[in-house]
Amino acid sequence: MRPNSLAPIVIFVAGLGIGYFARGAMSTNDKTDTHAADLAAIEKLHKADIRATLAQNLTAMNSLWSEDAVKLDAPGSPVVGLKALREMYEKSLADCPDFKVLKYSPVITEVQIVDGWAIEVGTVEATYTMSAKDEPVSVSDKGVRVLKRQSDGSWKYAVVGLR
């Protein structure tokens, strides 16, 4: 083999190597950007959750859940689906019309995001009254929440289990 015929092969292999490493560096940045965007969208969900819960806005509360959501921490058996969640919220409000949330503060200690799903672990600190004449009750529930990325990049609750 002549020295001249080796040069194109060396250049070709060098180009492949540079392309491979450049692609790897770019995909790492893409993953970092996607992760940052996911965390920002999840934080937006958290803020909407706090606003809806403090206001006891049933429509806003229901809009935070995915279509096939499961609420494991409801009284009785798990609540499955948006229609059942809405009915649970309406019944709770009808049973306790003077119920008021005074404080609602989720404290998420860990979030793992993989393939359009996020798992959160943490605590929810809350204070509420059942009626205007009742003393406030404070609770601290620990648990897990599973979130599902929506097609528009937003996130919704898919499974919630707090105790």
pLDDT for position 36: 93
C-beta of residue 132 within 8 angstroms of C-beta of residue 153: no
Question: Which residues lie closer than 8 Å to 82 by C-beta, 6 or more apart?
Answer: 62, 65, 67, 69
- Token duo for residue 44: 């937006």
Strand intervals (E) in the chain: 65-71, 79-80, 100-114, 117-129, 137-149, 155-162
pLDDT for position 16: 47
In terms of CATH architecture, what is 3-162? Roll (3.10)
> How far apart, in whole angstroms, are the C-alpha atoms of residue 33 and residue 115?
14
CB atoms within 10 A of CB 141: 14
Give the distance from CA 125 to its chain's centroid: 18
* Residues β-bridged to residue 127: 103, 138
pTM above 0.85, yes or no: no
Q: Which amino acid is at 43?
A: E
pLDDT for position 8: 52
Domain boundaries in the chain?
3-162
Using CA atoms, how far residue 47 sits from 14, 50, 121, 145, 149, in Å, is 50, 5, 17, 15, 16
C-beta of residue 141 within 8 angstroms of C-beta of residue 121: no
pLDDT for position 18: 55
> How far apart, in whole angstroms, are the C-alpha atoms of residue 12 and residue 16?
6
Which residues in the chain come in under a pLDDT of 70? 1-32
> How far apart, in whole angstroms, are the C-alpha atoms of residue 98 and residue 130?
6
